[in-house]
A and B are shown apart, each in its own frame.
Chain A
Amino acid sequence: MLAKRIIPCLDVKNGRNVRGVRFSADKDAGDPIALARRYDKEGADELVFYDITASAEKREIVGELVRRVSEEVFIPFTVGGGVRTYRDIRTIIEGGAEKASINSAAIHTPEIITQGAESFGSQAIVGSIDAIRRPLSDCSSEPRWEVVINGGRTPTGKDALEWAEELVDRGAGELVLNSIDADGTKAGYDIELNSMVAERVDVPIVASGGAGGPEDMYAVLSKGKASAALAASIFHYHQYSIFEVKTYLAERGVPVRPKIEIDLT
């Protein structure tokens, strides 16, 4: 049986960490590779690099980051944030990442998903969805979520469940569901969003947005039917270690990859 995955997310800009660098005395605080190594040691099953570089050299900067990560960290990793073209995907995959995560670009040009999956396989293409919960429609008890882009500022009119199905039909091998309502609240993932999408599609779901602690991860990996739980702040600021989260999950019967000591010298 596959282990449920715990995935720390690293926000990077111009090849440096974004989160919390200003407040840290640690000279490595800005280095994503140092942070990636720390997460690897703590037992992360995978890493996500979310790149918010906005310069013309973005592709080169991302390419360099991917190469450095693949030289030093030997677990799978995904790169997302502004992945727009086939060349962007190629830079990420050929540099040594397992997956490229595509969000807004899929709304504008859905063919990018198909093209990426045909060239690199579905396992390399992640469909990332930012979803906002909308009020119940009249005469309906079905909850609904709308897909938004630009960090939640731009509504697309698309229903998140239908969009999830379309992304999978087009070849996405995994979906990340980021709840804009829950993001940054530390009040827990949107369990209902995850479980409803998980029932509609047969690719793994990565829950994102709202992680406040191990109990939130337990909820979304059990009741929420997600295959993986992603979090940034709680790991970055040492609120919880990945080891603590996994211990909590294992005690409750969730299959996780345990920490093992292997002598590599």
Chain B
Amino acid sequence: MIAIVNYGMGNLRSVQKAFEHIGAKAAIVHRPEEIDNADRVVLPGVGAFGDAMDNLKTAGLIAPIVKAIAEGRPFLGICLGLQLMFAESEEMGQHKGLDILPGGVRRFPKGQRVPQIGWNKVRIQRETALLDGVPDGSYFYFVHSFYVASKRDDDVIGTTDYGIDYASIAGSGRAFGVQFHPEKSQDAGLKILKNFAEHV
């Protein structure tokens, strides 16, 4: 069973429906033990980084998420969920993240329209099972004002150009994060969810 973590940061229904569409069973969960019992964990989310960490902490969800990743269970962060995987964020003050990947969350430099909203291209930097059958240069649907700056080159799986070249897919081991919304990125996005559910 795939557990989609509900911690009060946005609508998770689309993510659940997208998994169902590709034939995977996914449940929206909010209790620590539900994460402990899950085969795979998905952390979606829209909103502010600080609020998100506060909510995860209050609900007691940080330890089970970190444990799932440490045990090598497949993990997928989506949008804010990717950003939360990093050590810290400068969104509205300094905040600590889940610290699964070294690096931080930064605001797009001035001169670019923020938030970035729309379809942009992902250039694949490293082969992984998550991207099996996804052509290099595929377009995905993005909505975000901050991006992740990885400290380890190996963690950068895909990059996107929006004024700067930034990591739009990052990960290590079986823990992955995507900055775009795979559940709204048509077949390319559904393929990633399918790979996550079946091959990662």
Name A residues whose Cβ lies closer than 8 Å to a Cβ of B. Answer: 1-3, 5, 40, 45, 70-72, 74-76, 93-96, 98, 121-123, 173-174, 202-204, 227, 257-258, 260, 262-264
Contacts and interface: CB of A to CB of B under 8 A. Distances in A.
A102 to B, nearest CB: 17
Given A121-B46, A204-B113, A264-B191, 12 more contacts: A2-B117, A2-B118, A3-B121, A75-B184, A75-B186, A95-B13, A96-B11, A96-B14, A173-B117, A262-B187, A263-B133, A264-B194
B120 interface: yes
Given A1-B161, A202-B113, A98 B118 contact: no
B117 A94 contact: no
Nearest to A263: B133
A227 B118 contact: yes
A73 to B, nearest CB: 9
Interface string B121-141: 100000000000111001101
Interface in B1-60: 11, 13-14, 17-18, 20-22, 46
Given A75-B141, A93-B11, A96-B14, A262 B118 contact: no
B170 interface: no
A227 B141 CA distance: 15
Nearest to A75: B186
B141 to A, nearest CB: 6
Chain B binding surface, main DSSP class? mixed
Given A260-B187, A262-B188, A123 B115 contact: yes
Main SS class of interface, A: loop
Contact of B118 (A5, A40, A71, A72): A5
Given A5-B119, A74-B21, A121-B46, A260 B188 contact: yes
Interface of B: 11, 13-14, 17-18, 20-22, 46, 113, 115-121, 133-135, 138-139, 141, 143, 161-162, 183-191, 194
24 contacts: A1-B161, A3-B119, A3-B120, A3-B121, A5-B119, A45-B118, A70-B17, A71-B21, A74-B18, A74-B183, A74-B185, A74-B190, A76-B141, A93-B11, A202-B113, A203-B113, A204-B118, A257-B139, A258-B139, A260-B187, A262-B187, A263-B133, A263-B191, A264-B191
Contacts of A76: 141, 184
Contacts of A202: 113
6 closest A-B pairs by beta carbon, nearest first, are A257-B139, A262-B187, A2-B118, A3-B119, A257-B119, A71-B17
A123 B14 contact: no
B45 to A, nearest CB: 13
B118 A3 contact: yes
Nearest to A70: B14
Contacts of A1: 120-121, 161-162
B186 A74 contact: yes
Given A5-B118, A5-B119, A257-B119, A74 B135 contact: no
Max count, chain A CB within 10 A of own CB: residue among B115, B141, B186, B188? B186
B191 A98 contact: no
B70 to A, nearest CB: 32
B187 A3 contact: no
Nearest to B114: A202
Contacts of A263: 133, 191
